[in-house]
Structure 1
Amino acid sequence: MTTLITIIIFVISYCLLMLEKWNRAVVALTGGVLLLICNVFEWEEAFGFIDWSTIALLFSMMVLVSITKKTGIFTYVAIKLAQIVKGRPVPLLIVSGIFTAIGSAFLDNVTTVLLFVPVLLSLVKQLKLPAFPYLVTTIFASNIGGAATLIGDPPNIMIGQAVEHFSFLSFLNHMGPVVTVVFIVVMFLMILIFKNKLHYNKGLAEEFLNQDANQHLVKDKLLYRSLSVLFLTIVGFMLHPFIHMDITTIAVSGALLLLFLTDKCIEVEQVFQEVEWVTLFFFIGLFMLVGGLQTVGLIDELARAMVWVSDGDLPFTSMLMLWSSGILSGIVDNIPFVAAMIPVVQELQGYGMMNVDPIWWSLALGACLGGNGTLIGASANVVVAGLAASYKEPIPFVKFALYGVPIMLLSLLICTVYIFLRYLVPFLS
């Protein structure tokens, strides 16, 4: 009976998250509390299921970016990039994609789109360009760029925390090459698809070029201190394997250092008010929901089923993980999917599959790139859609899927070739 109750609560919570009619943090937390009420687990167990390292890492990055953005540096860079390409529509599409991808890799994709999309919408409005091509490209670039690093996309953060020997450099080494290829291919397609819809208006472009980007930049000690600490934190992530300090400790240290250095410039209460608490509490509720599945043994059964279907064959299991995670992450948010799959991969080691690293990389690639399939496939998609709607530039669900699903399938095909050649060929002999 307990198992049935757990499944019902999990499925209903999932459906409500997909419908997006209620706040996702409230839905996830309600599901977690219902598991407590139904005695699936106790509070002590619930807190044990929550990955506090992931929560602390996300919180720290939010604090770092919250302080840094007050300097206007992100708006300044965006305007400068648009001026470098002289307001031309297609080059603007390219630089906005590159800027989003790089920002998503080193800041995280949700934070990047929150910072960049309002600026982007302002740019295209001034140049009287259609917003849809730029918004779609931004979503694709955020998920692709976020897939490259440990901190770029929430699924990667969760996988990085679950596997001790995965570092920031590990993700760059294993995810970076294929992500670069996928990004180049997708940007080429975006240019091909939208170039005839983007018309250059020389008069508006000249007016835009006359703007002074410096007026958005606050050149004081807050700028230099925040950029210095942010840079040191990212360097710390890269040196993580050599300094023997986990990335959460590095991120928390960076956030606290910047709070101390800017205490006289900005109130801590104000910084904390801008933290994305909804995202953090969503994660907490999500970990509790998945903990319920673990408690009643469903995760273990899922792992056994995967071993049974694949017969313990590593190449088949990796491909199964890549495509199932990719397609399902396009249908549902990739965060709850990865939260459910992490303990499954961990269980696979208990069934004789010792080298599961290819399966981890397959899960990461499938979840991150599969998120491009629909508007609810990834958190960054939902954020962009919400911001666009607030600026009266709504993104139709079906219209997005017409672009997103083919991009998702193409990305998974590229990843299939990459995983096969890099990891699986030795196991076929």
Structure 2
Amino acid sequence: MAVVMAVAVFVVSYIFIMMEKINRALVALSGGLLLLLTGVYQWEDAVQSYIDWQTVALLFAMMVLVAITKKTGVFTFVAIWLAKTVNGKPVPLLVGIAVLTAIGSALLDNVTTVLLFVPVILTLTDLLKLPAFPYLLTIIFSANIGGTATLIGDPPNIMIGQAVSHLTFVSFIQHTAPISMFLFVIMLFVLILLFRKQLRQIDHEHVKQLMAMDEVSYIKISPLLYQSISILLLTITGFLLHPVFHIDLTLIALCGALLLLIISEKEVDTEAIFQQVEWVTLFFFIGLFMLVGGLEEVGVIDELARGIMWLTEGDMTNTALLLLWTSGLFSGIVDNIPFVAAMIPVIKEFETYGMSNLDPLWWSLALGACLGGNGTLIGASANVVVAGLAESQNKRISFMKFMVYGIPIVILSLLFATIYVYFRYLLPFEQPL
């Protein structure tokens, strides 16, 4: 009965999220509450096991940091500088924001990066009277593909790196960065091809207005400017040094946010900053974790993972490729964070089936989960954040419209990832000793 209830609530909630008739946070939270009322799991289980409070807290901290830094005008400065550098041309602007997002997502995490660049691109598209959707879509895809490249780039990579001690920051650069860079170029080419009609040269009057603007004048020179940029850079440095000092990323972000709130209290109203936090996005995450927690509680996700081993009969090649595609496709349906959390202990159990080297499986899981997040608006944390930021500026991204572009990108990415995984990791297993 519990299995039927958990699956039914998840499916119905997912349908309502796709229909977009009701606020997605209300749908997800209602579904989670229904699981509690029907006894699928207890409140303590939801709070202690299923809701990833670290992810929620990390998002909150970065939203605070960005909200304060935005008051200095630095993001507007970056927006105008970038637009002027490419002379207001839509395609070079798309390429520029994609490169910045991909690099930022590799060096930070993709959630932090989209929090920084979405306000920039919304400012640019309003300024140049360009459609925002192609640029927002590019940011999402670039963030998830760029975040695949490093250990700290995407939450699934962080979770895998914490679970497997020998998979270090350098290991991810060596193994996931090459395919990530290749897929980034392919993705960019495809998007430019698809949106070429919308990315034609804009009106010359808008370009003239842009080139006449003084980007420096938008920066508000005050102690807040130096304080916010310094603490933001310190927070980023803390993220980069995570593999060295092993300080939790959420703790680093919270310390940065709290420190900036304290030292900027005379210039910034704390309550006003809290009002700028994307609370709808945060509560949507909480509800989503509860929905997926119901599937975990009744064993649906675990059975899916164990079914992989049963189908492949322990063959390394078949197991790795099935894991790649299962994690890739399934991560588009549920958020990739709870999915990876459920898969990690299952992969560790594969050692009991005689698999001594699990590295091909870990790389398959990392690639599948990160790349599969591009499938739907709830496939990855960055997607949800971008959708929330866009909606707050009346630039709503339709769930179904996103899927029209997201699913083909995921299929294409997984096809190339399959070739990469097979020739780099699996072919040696098939060679005779």
When normalised by structure 2's length, the TM-score is 0.84
**Counterpart AA for 1:11:** V
Amino acid at match of 1:424: L
Q: How does 1:163-174 map to 2 (within 5 A)?
A: 171-174=172-175
Residue 113 of structure 1, CA deviation = 4.3
1:159 CA displacement: 5.1
Answer yes or no: is the 8 Å Cα contact 2:114–2:386 preserved in 1: yes
Q: Is 345-354 or 370-379 further displaced after alignment? A: 370-379
Structure 1 residue 316 displacement after superposition: 1.9
Per the alignment, residue 366 of structure 2 pairs with 364
Pair 1:66 & 2:67 matched? yes
Alpha carbons of structure 1 residues 218 and 14: separation in structure 2 relative to 1, 3 Å: same
Q: Specify the alignment match of 1:327 in structure 2.
A: 329
The answer to whether structure 1 residue 286 and structure 2 residue 288 are counterparts is yes
Matches within 5 A, 1:200-215: 201-215=203-217
Given the alignment of the two structures, is residue 120 of structure 1 paired with residue 121 of structure 2, yes or no? Answer: yes
Tell me if the contact between 1:28 and 1:282 (Cα under 8 Å) persists in the aligned partners. yes
Rounded to whole Å, the distance in 1 between the matches of 2:57 and 2:390 is 29
* 1:125–1:277 Cα change, 3 Å: closer
Report the residue type matching 2:239 in the other structure: F
Q: Write out aligned runs for 1:300-379 (5 A).
A: 300-330=302-332, 332=333, 334-335=334-335, 338-351=337-350, 352=352, 353=355, 355-374=357-376, 377-378=379-380
Partner of 2:300: 298
**Partner residue in 2 for 1:41:** 41
Q: Distance in 1 between matches of 2:408 and 2:205?
A: 36
Match of 2:87 in 1: 86
- Measure the CA separation in 1 of the matches of 2:394 and 2:328: 31
Instruction: Give the whole-Å Cα distance in 2 for the aligned partners of 1:293 and 1:145.
Output: 29
Question: What is the 5 A alignment of 1:154-193?
Answer: 155-156=156-157, 171-193=172-194
One-letter code aligned to 1:346:
P
The Cα of 1:375 is off from its aligned counterpart by 5.2
Q: Deviations over 1:109-141 (max 9, x none)?
A: 455445544543453454454555434433332
Q: Measure, in 2, the Cα distance between the counterparts of 1:271 and 1:167.
A: 36
Deviations 1:170-189 (A, max 9, x none): 54454333222211222233
Structure 2: tracts of 5 or more residues without a match = none
Tell me by how many angstroms 1:354 deviates. Answer: 5.6
Percent identical pairs in the alignment equals: 57
Judged with a 3 Å threshold, the aligned counterparts in structure 2 of structure 1 residues 309 and 175 are, in CA distance, closer, same or farther, namely same
Deviation at 1:80, TM superposition (A): 0.2
Query: In 2, Cα distance between the equivalents of 1:148 and 1:215?
Result: 36
Distance of 2:209 and 2:226 partners within structure 1: 31
Equivalent pair of 1:88/1:200 in contact (CA under 8 Å): yes
Counterpart position of 1:423: 425
* SS of 1:265 mapped into structure 2: coil
Greater alpha carbon shift after TM alignment, 355-364 vs 261-270? 355-364
Query: How far, CA to CA, are the matches of 2:57 and 2:129 in structure 1?
Result: 41
Indicate whether 1:51 and 2:52 are aligned. yes
Query: Per-residue CA shift, 1:48-72, capped at 9, x if unaligned?
Result: 2133333332222222222222222
d(CA) in 1 for partners of 2:90 and 2:47? 50
Shift of 1:209: 0.6
Instruction: Look up the match of 2:25.
Output: 25
Q: Which residue of 1 aligns with 2:255?
A: 253
CA–CA distance in 2 between the matches of 1:242 and 1:253?
18
Distance 1:360 1:284, change over 3 A: farther
Report if the CA contact (8 A) 2:391-2:397 is conserved. yes
Mark the runs of 5 or more structure 1 residues left unpaired by the alignment.
Answer: none
* Coordinate RMSD, CA, aligned: 3.3
Name the counterpart of 2:276.
274
Q: Provide the rounded CA distance (Å) in 1 between the counterparts of 2:46 and 2:284.
A: 14
Return the alpha-carbon distance in structure 1 between the equivalents of residues 56 and 163 of structure 2: 13
Distance 1:32 1:397, change over 3 A: closer
- Tell me the secondary structure at the aligned position of residue 25 of structure 1: helix
Deviation at 1:291, TM superposition (A): 3.1
Cα distance change of structure 1 residues 238 and 386 upon mapping to structure 2, 3 Å threshold? closer
How far apart are 1:309 and its partner, in Å?
Answer: 0.8
- Paired residues in the alignment total 426
* Alpha-carbon separation, structure 2, partners of 1:392 and 1:45: 37
Aligned to 1:242, which of 244, 269, 278? 244
Contact 1:222 1:262 in 2 (8 A): yes
Q: Does the aligned pair in 1 maintain the 2:160–2:344 contact within 8 Å? A: no
Deviates more, 1:26-35 or 1:189-198: 189-198
| CA distance in structure 2 between the partners assigned to 1:417 and 1:160 by the alignment | 23
Per-residue deviation, 1:389: 7.0
Q: Given residue 77 of structure 1, which amino acid in structure 2 is its aligned partner?
A: V
Summarize the Cα distance change of 1:161–1:48 in structure 2 as closer, same or farther, 3 Å threshold.
Answer: farther
Q: Name the structure 2 match of 1:138.
A: 139
TM-score of the superposition, structure 1-length normalised?
0.85
